[in-house]
A and B are shown apart, each in its own frame.
Chain A
């Protein structure tokens, strides 16, 4: 294993996933590609006039900040990590990044609890689908 792709954000659950992936990369001697997906679908929640382009730019800044934090955490553990920013729905962005970055593995965080966006069963179905689509091995850490 040479390069692990890990979609991340900035919350407590994301940090746990980052730690697990950093440990996995350290053990395997791999590098990490942290991915943040910019998605402004939430703008549909308001009927008010907003500039999606300006909001997208701000979300990119925030994403880069969160990715830089993740990379610093990896660097502190002696693991090399790089940042990757994509736009659009999560699964499409993940698959596109996996192909573009030439990764060997994709790591997903285990659902943190009832507040998590995914149930474990949903996540397992998703990882199986991504593995089938990209041919890249997936791990739930």
Chain B
């Protein structure tokens, strides 16, 4: 009996062991598993021969992967051995046993200068004596190839097509990515210097955290927006202000800023603008005197959280900044900027606010009240509970290692199960064109990284600011603010991510992540300066025009540029105080 028990216990242990191994295998990412396997193979091979290892870096200190590394003996054309560098830039050359009198390492990769590394006598001695040698990090210089121009011109084409509105953003980004891939794969077989990346490498540049966070939030917002909460809050602002226009605009700006921070600034303006126009006509004022302050507040308010703007989502994912990081490091600055912005708006519109007048009939007031009611209280209650839990999870995410993208997807699933179980209806709220836009954009920016344009920009900015963190903050904020006013801030921010990443690594003091917040402030607040600077500006102008109140480029510039300038200044001052 004892023997049977021992055997049973043994079987149980084996079963547990098998499960543990399986669990471990599932826990480990595939590349780690394969790298473990490689390490084992390598150890066996090294036991039979000699090895030479090292790491390839570009001039920014970034690993260079997929470079061809070959070892050549003196007077021989064929390499002794060759390999390709791994994703972390490392390489391991397995050399046949023997004594080497001269050895040269040849490194080649598209878009980099070919490099030959002659082993010194001391290095050869160590290799011959111990059988292995670890070379110091090898730096590869970039070079401009035809592929560089393909990637760069494709990206310029994307920006131009978007700016000139010749193609939809998604089509433009897809065209750019397809051009690079097409030329790379077809042209690359004719001229290797045209090769930029293959499809697998291109997909490697797609940040799926961003894709899933955006998709999850689309579903969550899609449910919340049909409850009438935006319209209800706007109507409450009208009711509470009791005809005081300065109070009305203050409350409307606060509502817009908070809604933009927690949900999305485009959705906020799309739903706030129609009711705001009705409120403005009810109180007898030009709707632009309320709409433009709202849109300015919307762009500023969105910066305060990770999920408030697409630029913050991009920055947060790339720089591994959590929801709390934005709350702690940006929200106080955003609140200060909003206070200053509100004062500016009240002063700017003091005359029309003072002259507002005219009473509408009771029937029209009733119509306004009807427009500002909660349309589906039950749905709002359920969606509110889920969104509240999501906010708690966003805040706790850092502590419990829960990615914002996972929280967003969990929230979306909860909405599917509890609020709107019709999956077909729910999936309609996901804007696939936006998600494809992000995917194509990541691939296009990835091409710029591959060919070295990003490195050049980073090096140029690095040379300009040196080790001066203050100068770096000012350069990042101001360039982001100015360029966001004239080009779409999403492609701009996506391009700047590796640049700011380099500056954060190399400038003393920048490890505090201050430059990421500088990019966030510049990219989003700068969007206030022009009509085309941010999506909320354009959709608000579209709604306003449908109501008979046209917003011209100049008219927007007159209020937007000073607003952008003062809010960027306040935001920058906050960064200097905080960091």
Contacts and interface: CB of A to CB of B under 8 A. Distances in A.
Contacts, number: 124
Interface stretch (B103-111, B218-226, B392-400): B218-226
B463 interface: no
Contacts of B449: none
A13 interface: yes
Contacts of A104: none
B548 A42 contact: no
Given A10-B281, A11-B550, A72-B364, A43 B271 contact: no
Interface string B451-471: 000000000000000000000
Please list the 10 inter-chain residue pairs (A to B) with the smallest Cβ-Cβ separation, ordered nearest first.
Answer: A42-B542, A11-B548, A49-B431, A9-B548, A47-B169, A62-B274, A46-B535, A45-B538, A58-B274, A10-B548
A69 B363 CA distance: 10
Given A54-B271, A64-B367, A9 B546 contact: yes
Contacts of B433: 47
SS class, residues of chain A in contact with chain B: helix
B434 interface: yes
A48 interface: yes
B429 A68 contact: no
B549 interface: yes
Contacts of B430: 49
A66 B535 CA distance: 25
A69 B281 contact: yes
Interface string A17-42: 00000000000000000000011011
Contacts of A12: 548
For chain B, which range describes its interface: under 10, 10 to 19, 20 to 34, or 35 or more residues? 35 or more
A123 B412 CA distance: 48
A121 interface: no
B231 interface: yes
Given A42-B542, A43-B539, A46-B539, A68 B367 contact: yes
A13 B548 contact: yes
User: Which one of A14, A48, A55, A66 has the greatest number of beta carbons of chain B within 10 Å?
Assistant: A48
B429 A47 contact: no
A59 B266 CA distance: 15
Contact of B271 (A14, A47, A58): A58
B361 A72 contact: yes
B371 interface: yes
B413 to A, nearest CB: 17
User: Which one of A44, A46, A47, A59 has the greatest number of beta carbons of chain B within 10 Å?
Assistant: A47
A125 interface: no
B94 interface: no
Nearest to B215: A49
Given A49-B429, A68-B367, A11 B270 contact: no
A44 B270 CA distance: 13
Contacts of A69: 281, 360, 364
A40 B387 CA distance: 28
Contacts of B434: 47-49
A127 B368 CA distance: 34
B481 to A, nearest CB: 21
Interface in A60-83: 61-66, 68-69, 72
